[in-house]
Amino acid sequence: MWSSKSFRSSVAAILADAKRASKPVRLSPRQQDVLRCAAEGLTVDRIADRLTISRNTADTHLRSVRERLGVTNNVHAVAKAFRLGLISYPHAIA
């Protein structure tokens, strides 16, 4: 049982998650801007308009933020970013 392939891959996945969790997360200033906009509840289109970037660029930044934070959606990304102190409230976008 302990040597089963599925058990070993489960343990490997848990260890990889723990290793990722121990690394400090760093976001670029632009990723922080996009995430702050998402925290305000703006859609990708509105984020792009506010930051004068393309919709594709805004979406790419959000996808990258989700990957770095190890989450699957923007709501979770915002919550985790607040918890980690990566963004704060109130905030202002220059």
What pLDDT does 89 receive?
72
Q: How many residues in total does the chain contain?
A: 94
Mean pLDDT confidence for 65-90: 91
What pLDDT does 31 receive?
96
What pLDDT does 34 receive?
97
- Indicate if the alpha-carbon torsion angle 17, 9, 76, 62 is positive or negative: positive
pTM (2 d.p.): 0.71
| Contact call for residues 94 and 51 (beta carbons, < 8 A) | no
pLDDT tens figures, 13-63? 666 665 655 678 899 999 999 999 999 999 999 999 999 999 999 999 999
Torsion-angle region of 41 (φ positive above 0: left; ψ -120 to 50: alpha; else: beta): left
Per-residue DSSP letter, 84: H
What pLDDT does 58 receive?
98
